[in-house]
Amino acid sequence: MCDLRLRVCKWTSVVKHRSLPCLLSKLSNFVIFFLFRFKTLSSSISEFHLGGTAFNGVVEELKKVTTRVAHVLPVSDDGGSTAEIVRVLGGPAVGDIRSRCLRLSDESTSEALSVRRLLGHRLPIDPSEAKLEWHQIVEGDHTLWDGVSRPYRETIRAFLVYFHNEILRRSADMFCFTNGSIGNFFFAGARIFFQSLDAAIFLFSRVSQIPAESLVLPVISTNDRFTLGCELWDGTIIRGQNEISHPSNGRPEVVNKVFPEVNHTVLEQLSKVDCVVYAMGSLFTSLCPSLVLRGIGETIASRAIPKVLLLNGSHDRETTGLSASGFVTAITDSLNRTYGDPHKRLKNHPNDYVNAILVPEGGQIPLDVENLASQGIFHVVRISVLLSVVLDLN
């Protein structure tokens, strides 16, 4: 069952769970089970999640187990409808934050479901149809408003109208509504009105009734446009998260050298949570940009808590050829700011940042346990995709 030397454990099931929601539920339960197993959590669980939207599926199941979680998200994802908002109106990219807020939103009443459906709606791909439907929504005539009470309707619609007016004021930049996210439009309208990203998150959280103990935090609290950049080993500069993630000329070797000021609330929460979870997703464009900020590495290294990496199940354009220890090295280099100012680099060890790894059984990422052991990481748990875990949290 468990090799004590490497402490590489394998958990399998006797019951086959084939549906994706069930698998996500079991994964979220297992994260909690794993942390309780090592007896490091109090009865009031508090977690700190770093990463992007790839973790959203687990989040929806995790909230059924605990809502005492701080979700830290990047503000640099410039793909999808976010790109159009940033192009015309500027400001930080809010797509990842809106997506996480939506996943955490209340689903307990018919009105809560109606609000979630409205804010989660995307306009058609066809430009003409998208623009027509957007006008119906702004004017309050669309069926998406059905089930939304007058107070909620007036609040949400006010910021959609404000967003629309901001677009009209910039008539030189023709806005494309294709596949636009209503939630992103609402979020952008609130941010511009309040001139505050934090205030927009607060409003969205209240409108969608996110649990009060769940925090959604931008890793950088800014009202300005933030563009992720990277430098290749040959000196070539690539700008924009979407361009880095989907390169036109092969996979870039990412070396991030930009260090904005971290959101102080992130450091405050990080200093008192019971565990840190590095979520699965885009390693170099979703996770690492949040880690290179000054104060993140110092705070994580100082905490004697579980620091768990949820390893990706497959490679993407950013990680082709990387093993599990390669992921750890990338995280360590980011937190140590290895490629930044030599006078501000850290020299912490890999196990100061990662002390446990959850690995999906049958995943594509090579599990090089000997290299992980040399990094000081001995808690490596293989999770079968047919996992069945029964928890007693009493």
Write the DSSP string, 147-211. Answer: T--HHHHHHHHHHHHHHHHHHHHTTTSPPP-TT-BHHHHHHHHHHHHHT-HHHHHHHHHHHTT--
Give the pLDDT of residue 255: 46
Do the beta carbons of residue 309 and residue 50 sit within 8 Å?
Answer: no
Give the pLDDT of residue 247: 59
Helix 110-119 × helix 182-194 angle, to 10°: 80
Give the pLDDT of residue 156: 97
Which residue segments constitute the domains of the chain, with CATH numbers given? 1-74+228-394 (3.40.50), 81-213 (no CATH)
Give the pLDDT of residue 110: 96
Give the pLDDT of residue 7: 38
What amino acid is encoded at 4 in this protein?
A: L
Do the beta carbons of residue 270 and residue 290 sit within 8 Å?
Answer: no
Give the pLDDT of residue 302: 96
Helix 110-119 × helix 95-104 angle, to 10°: 160
Task: For residue 72, list its beta bridge partners.
Answer: 50, 217
Instruction: State how far Cα 349 lies from the chain centre.
Output: 25
How many angstroms separate the Cα of 102 from the Cα of each of 59, 73, 84, 99, 164? 11, 14, 20, 5, 21
Give the pLDDT of residue 204: 94
Give the pLDDT of residue 242: 66
Give the pLDDT of residue 246: 62
Do the beta carbons of residue 244 and residue 254 sit within 8 Å?
Answer: yes
Give the pLDDT of residue 366: 93
Structural tokens at position 200:
């927009």
What amino acid is encoded at 347 in this protein?
A: K
Structural tokens at position 377:
């990481």
User: Which residue ranges of the chain lie beneath pLDDT 50?
Assistant: 1-26, 36, 38-45, 250, 252-256, 385-394
Give the pLDDT of residue 192: 95
Separation between Cα atoms, residue 140 and residue 162, nearest integer Å: 14
Burial of 276 (0-12, 13-18, 19+ CB in 10 A): buried
How many angstroms separate the Cα of 201 from the Cα of each of 80, 191, 208, 273? 20, 8, 10, 21
Separation between Cα atoms, residue 376 and residue 268, nearest integer Å: 27
Separation between Cα atoms, residue 329 and residue 319, nearest integer Å: 12
Alpha helices by DSSP H, listed for 1-109, are: 20-37, 56-62, 80-89, 95-104
Q: State the pTM of this model.
A: 0.80
